[in-house]
Structure 1
Amino acid sequence: MPQPPKPQINHLLAALPHEVHARLTPNLELVALPLGKVLYESGDTMRHVYFPIDCIVSLLYVMENGASAEISVVGREGIIGIALFMGGESTPSRAIIQSGGYAYRLLAHKFKEEFNRHSEMLMLLLRYTQSLITQMAQTAVCNRHHSIDQQLCRWLLLSLDRLPTNRLTMTQELIANMLGVRREGVTEAAGKLQKLGVIEYSRGQITVLDRAQLEHLSCECYAVVKKETDRLMPSPLTPAASLRPALRPGVVRLPPCVQ
């Protein structure tokens, strides 16, 4: 039997202080998340948080007419369920599996207990939230001002950063739904990349052959998100304590989130 993946593959779990990790580990549950599975719908009360291991989760906003657009992607660098520690308990977005794989999930009350207990975990998650907000804001700007070709390059690069391989399992129809554009536009953009030798596309499999060229063809939005994420978040082996700023007289600690 193959060994289950280690929780530390997720960058946030890897960065937690040892005592926090020791308390959380017995409560972590490894779950399989197939492509297309919905983790929660708009307005649902969150009962778990998810730490992706080798899957990608898309956060989507869905309109009344059924049209949708992706606002951010989350993979092994992050967590699904920030509304729990931001005090909202639910969110108007939908979370759907964009690339299937595994994640560790944790009951909401166990997560909040630890969040309220440990200041280093609080700081780590607030920094992650800031990086996620940056991604959401840049996605909105990109969708408004840049071409479908550039949007597709940005989307592929963000997805690659969250996967252990250079191959994505994704149909053009699903990509179009993520970007909020027509499928024909994605087909044309993907065809251009394939002719340039940047990607290879076949039967729902996209393999990136030339990442450097993909970055060159992308708009500045990918670089902005990447730079801010690298600035705010630790590498998988960096302890969360290194992110904690020194307290100075007159500086007030953030209070724990409301239960």
Structure 2
Amino acid sequence: MGFTTPFLPTNRLIESLPEEERKRFLADCEIVEMEFGQMLVEPGEIISHAIFPLDCLVSLIATLESGGRLEVSMVGNEGMMGIPLMLGAQTSSLQALIQGVGPALRMSSACFQDHLAQSPTLERLMKRYLNFLMSQISQSAVCTHYHPLEARMARWLLMTHDRTRGDQLRITHEFLSNMLGVRRAGVTLAAKAIQNRGLISYQRGRIIVQDRAGLEEASCRCYVADRNIYDQMLEQVACPMHTSAHK
């Protein structure tokens, strides 16, 4: 279960389209390599492209004037970056940062909006993904307010692990503190507690997942809730579209 990338990178949203429509869509995409720390868009900037990760990871981050940052959602091969485009908006209210390197499909904003206008199937798929993304953001808000840091960190690590290939995650304590909206000292204590349970190991900016099942037990229920909402979305898409979609 989850969003784990298969051996051959793909994007699950695009793969959910009927074959002929998928071919037309892919014909207008280009493959680009994303680099760690690359900024795709800043709040208030015009969104130039719709991005569909294949084997990279994008953090969507809310920023404060004081400089504070908090990740409100993450996007891997289960989704896309550029949802405001389907709502007729041209600018982003969030910061989009690459936190996992790898390839992605890129389509110009104008071309993406043309495809939306011409394809009720694509529009329906994007609306369902938007609903999932809104649910994920709401779940993150609840999680941040009510759940202990150790459980939140376990959830975040699982979500990242789902969207990347392999067990090694390129993450520093400073980066984690920004993503979770807590002080670095708190992240260090929580990471040490998870490591002492044998669930992860931490080596020079890399976290290695050693016991995924144990990490799931340590996580709050928000992780399972997110995963179930996405799986339900794909099932709803598969029924009216075609039976060969991913489940």
Q: TM-score, normalised by structure 2?
A: 0.91
Q: Cα RMSD between the aligned structures?
A: 1.9
State how far apart, in whole Å, the 1-side matches of 2:89 and 2:239 are. 28
Quick check: 165-174 or 22-31, which moved more? 22-31
Say which one has the larger Rg.
1
State how far apart, in whole Å, the 2-side matches of 1:210 and 1:182 are. 26
State how far apart, in whole Å, the 1-side matches of 2:139 and 2:180 are. 13
1:227-238 matches, within 5 Å, as 227-234=228-235
8 A contact 2:57–2:75 mirrored in 1 = yes
User: Is residue 152 of structure 2 the alignment partner of residue 151 of structure 1?
Assistant: yes
State how far apart, in whole Å, the 1-side matches of 2:178 and 2:224 are. 23
1:139-175 C-alpha deviation (Å, 9 max, x unpaired): 0011111111111011011111111222211111101
Query: CA shift at 1:24, angstroms?
Result: 2.1
What code does the residue aligned with 1:19 have?
Answer: E
3-state DSSP of counterpart to 1:9: coil
Query: 1:254 — aligned with what?
Result: none
8 A contact 1:124–1:240 mirrored in 2 = no
What code does the residue aligned with 1:146 have?
Answer: H
3-state DSSP of counterpart to 1:64: coil
8 A contact 2:52–2:79 mirrored in 1 = yes
Quick check: 72-81 or 107-116, which moved more? 107-116
What code does the residue aligned with 2:55 have?
Answer: D
8 A contact 1:120–1:240 mirrored in 2 = no
3-state DSSP of counterpart to 2:62: strand
Query: CA shift at 1:242, angstroms?
Result: 4.3
What code does the residue aligned with 2:141 have?
Answer: A
1:80-117 C-alpha deviation (Å, 9 max, x unpaired): 00000012221211000111211110011111111111
3-state DSSP of counterpart to 2:182: coil
State how far apart, in whole Å, the 2-side matches of 1:19 and 1:94 are. 34
Q: Which runs of 4+ in 1 moved over 6 A?
A: none
1:8-38 C-alpha deviation (Å, 9 max, x unpaired): 7110111112222222222211111111111
3-state DSSP of counterpart to 2:52: strand
Query: CA shift at 1:45, angstroms?
Result: 1.1
8 A contact 2:18–2:242 mirrored in 1 = no
What code does the residue aligned with 1:161 have?
Answer: D
User: Is residue 108 of structure 2 the alignment partner of residue 103 of structure 1?
Assistant: no
Query: 2:205 — aligned with what?
Result: 204
What code does the residue aligned with 1:99 have?
Answer: G
Query: CA shift at 1:239, angstroms?
Result: 8.0
* Structure 2 unmatched ranges of 5 or more: 1-6
State how far apart, in whole Å, the 1-side matches of 2:26 and 2:96 are. 24
State how far apart, in whole Å, the 2-side matches of 1:205 and 1:31 are. 24
1:217-256 matches, within 5 Å, as 217-234=218-235, 241-242=241-242
8 A contact 1:131–1:228 mirrored in 2 = yes
1:167-186 C-alpha deviation (Å, 9 max, x unpaired): 21111110110111111111
State how far apart, in whole Å, the 2-side matches of 1:95 and 1:196 are. 33
Q: TM-score, normalised by structure 1?
A: 0.87
1:180-232 C-alpha deviation (Å, 9 max, x unpaired): 11111111111111111100110111111111111111111111111111111
Query: 2:127 — aligned with what?
Result: 126
Q: 1:88 to 1:66 in 2, by over 3 A?
A: same
3-state DSSP of counterpart to 2:44: coil
Between the aligned residues of both structures, percent identity stands at 37
State how far apart, in whole Å, the 1-side matches of 2:105 and 2:179 are. 24
Query: 2:79 — aligned with what?
Result: 78
Quick check: 17-26 or 155-164, which moved more? 17-26
8 A contact 1:42–1:91 mirrored in 2 = yes
State how far apart, in whole Å, the 1-side matches of 2:240 and 2:83 are. 18
State how far apart, in whole Å, the 1-side matches of 2:72 and 2:242 are. 30
8 A contact 2:46–2:91 mirrored in 1 = yes
Give the aligned length.
Answer: 237
